[in-house]
Structure 1
Amino acid sequence: MSSGTEAETGGRQRLWSPVRVSGAVSRLAAAGALIVIFVVLSFVAPSFLTADNLFNLGSQTSVKAVMAVGVTLVIITGGIDLSVGSVAALSGVVGVLLMAEHGLNPLLGVLGGLAVGATAGLVNGLLVSRVGLPPFIATLGMLSVARGVVLITTGAVAVFGAPDSFRVLGQGVLGPVPVPVLLIVFVALAGHVILTRTRLGRYAYVLGSNPEAARLSGVAVSRHITAVYVLSGMFAGLGGMIAASRINSGQPNFGEGLELDVIAAVVIGGASLFGGRGTILGSLIGAFLVAVIRNGAVQLGIGTFYQNVLIGLIIWLAVWWDRYQRRKFNNEETG
């Protein structure tokens, strides 16, 4: 049996494959679309460039961007995490409960919320890697379980009573920069380091590109698959705590449908739902694009239903482009 080093080398060799190049094209297209939409909204929506709206936009994006980092890791392995919205809600509620009813300081409350998210991710990872459930089914089940638990725990009533200092996480500023934006930078750097400087990141690409080769090379597949779901759950928990901090309360209905925006951000940013491709930078671009579209739609009085239709169309287009490029390059290699 070959060593794990061969799998690492194979992952590096594929970094400049045609499929990777198409991912770079997708990221450039998303970045171009973001710039164009931002400029257009600056002219057609007078309140778009106001300080209050930009601060709100940064805070809104932080939740999706932080969660998108975790989902990127999962999608690169060829998986999917549909539970992030419900896990974020559960984490936010539990974190606020720990502060409001058990007297924990905000730092410990936030860590408690992250632990809840990581635990949900661990369950997802074990269901996929050990039990053998398809990622879609495993995380769809967690979506329902986490939502049910948060509604049972709260009686579908918002949880209040967190200390005012908790607001810093979602509303604070450091100089002119909102704390949520700093969190985006921190989490993005952490995700980038994981993908480019750790064995977990290198193996994630190999698992998404050729899982059988990874197994034959001696990669601990179950352990690494579980790890990426734990990270996805933990980042979902952080997103839930940021959202709870913005309104200083735990909202049991938070995150309903949020997984659509997060997955859309990752796919728009050049990640492949078929695995083996994706970057943190691309997912951040996608998250900002989705957030700007939704924010601009609100500024122009476009309803949520129409926004959902637009996001869905963008997902279709991104996945179609990915399939088209893969089919094209496969034909070239065999031709």
Structure 2
Amino acid sequence: MSASTSAGSAGRQRISEFFSLSGATGPLIGLILLCAFLSFATDSFLSFRNFLNIADQITVLGIMAVGMTFVILIGGIDLSVGSVLALSMMVLGFLNVTAGLPMTVAIPGALMAAAVCGAISGLLITTFRVPAFIATLAMMSIARGVANMITNGSQIIGFPAWFNMGAIIRHFGFLTMTVAVMLVVFAAAILFLRVREEGRSLYAIGGNPEVARLAGINVKLTTVLVYTVCALLSGLAGVLLAARLDSVQPSSGVAYELDAIAAVVIGGTSLSGGTGGVVGTLIGVLVIGVLRNGLNLLSVSPFLQAVIIGLVIVLAVAAETFKRRRN
């Protein structure tokens, strides 16, 4: 066997191991089959312009799903991300448009507001022993209420022109600012989970929190930080959504938490924690984005689209459960 053949085989093996370690082999195959079907079923799916549209459409979901992956890896859940996204958008609009502060102040302020929500959820879970479902459900209501209180339910418009143009202008002919930020977030998250000791500790906590504690991992602090980062990423997604829409309103982000959870589950991350990864989540986000795009191209009713996506989520969870039982 030649050296080039051996090197190529080793490279393919490393790529295969990378995806299998992330639990993404099945979702990747599903994504390929979905793309193949839509390529034959529609005339416009297999085009560069359509792929750019898909990339633009998944940016908000992708960033939120990264944070949700961290939460689910430690065996938690966060139902507040959609409301936190709305809150960050309203804080951004209030600081920049209403208060007249520059974006260099408004954007950090919006991110800080989101991070505080996550920290509070984490403290409720770790210090007061409130179940994650209840703590984040309460935060979902609180964040949405505060978002509405900022403007009494009204939208805010009037952002600087460059802010909106950052989500429209394509650098190098294909890359918008929002897509670039999503790619950076995914790359940083993948490296964090695979290289950093703190990233590997998330798997330990999700596998068995008590064993992780005995191994020297500060489970409480890590849990608070994970929920804070999840909320912070939701706030970042809110800033990017504001750039795309060139406006903010407190009703934004409704049911986004369900999409984020769905992307993580479809990507192969176990709801019981301890297994999965961001690579799988990226594929899960692409599955949802491609599926919605394809259904729109096929002129499928939005109501039927919700049913189809729900069935896909059920099948993904059932497949994960079957795989875990067999193992």
Please give the TM-score of this superposition, normalised by the length of structure 1.
0.86
CA positional deviation for 1:23: 6.2
- The runs of 5 or more residues in structure 1 that have no matched partner are 1-19, 330-335
CA distance in 1 between partners of 2:23 and 2:198 (Å)? 24
CA distance in 2 between partners of 1:184 and 1:52 (Å)? 19
> How big is each residue's C-alpha offset from its partner over 1:150-185, in whole Å with a ceiling of 9 and x where there is no partner?
122222221111111111443232222222221121
Q: 2:243 maps to which residue?
A: 245
Q: 1:272 maps to which residue?
A: 270
CA contact (8 A) 1:78 1:275 kept: yes
CA positional deviation for 1:49: 4.5
CA contact (8 A) 2:22 2:276 kept: no
CA contact (8 A) 1:188 1:280 kept: yes
CA distance in 1 between partners of 2:261 and 2:56 (Å)? 18
Q: 2:79 maps to which residue?
A: 82
CA contact (8 A) 2:166 2:177 kept: yes
Q: 1:295 maps to which residue?
A: 293
Q: 2:107 maps to which residue?
A: 110
> How big is each residue's C-alpha offset from its partner over 1:287-321, in whole Å with a ceiling of 9 and x where there is no partner?
01101111222222223322222222222222222
CA contact (8 A) 2:204 2:212 kept: yes
| Identity in percent | 40
Compute the RMSD of aligned alpha carbons: 2.1
Q: 1:153 maps to which residue?
A: 150
Q: Partner letter of residue 312 of structure 2?
A: I
CA contact (8 A) 1:150 1:252 kept: yes
Q: 2:13 maps to which residue?
A: none
Question: Which of 118, 130, 138 pairs up with 1:133?
Answer: 130
Q: 2:163 maps to which residue?
A: 166
Question: Which of 116, 119, 138 pairs up with 1:119?
Answer: 116
- The runs of 5 or more residues in structure 2 that have no matched partner are 1-16
Equivalenced residue count is 310
Distance 1:306 1:118, change over 3 A: same
CA distance in 2 between partners of 1:273 and 1:22 (Å)? 19
CA contact (8 A) 1:93 1:249 kept: no
> How big is each residue's C-alpha offset from its partner over 1:24-75, in whole Å with a ceiling of 9 and x where there is no partner?
5851221122222223323433343455543332121111111111110110
Moved more, 60-69 or 196-205: 196-205
SS at match of 2:270: coil
Please give the TM-score of this superposition, normalised by the length of structure 2.
0.88
CA distance in 2 between partners of 1:165 and 1:106 (Å)? 11
CA distance in 1 between partners of 2:184 and 2:48 (Å)? 23
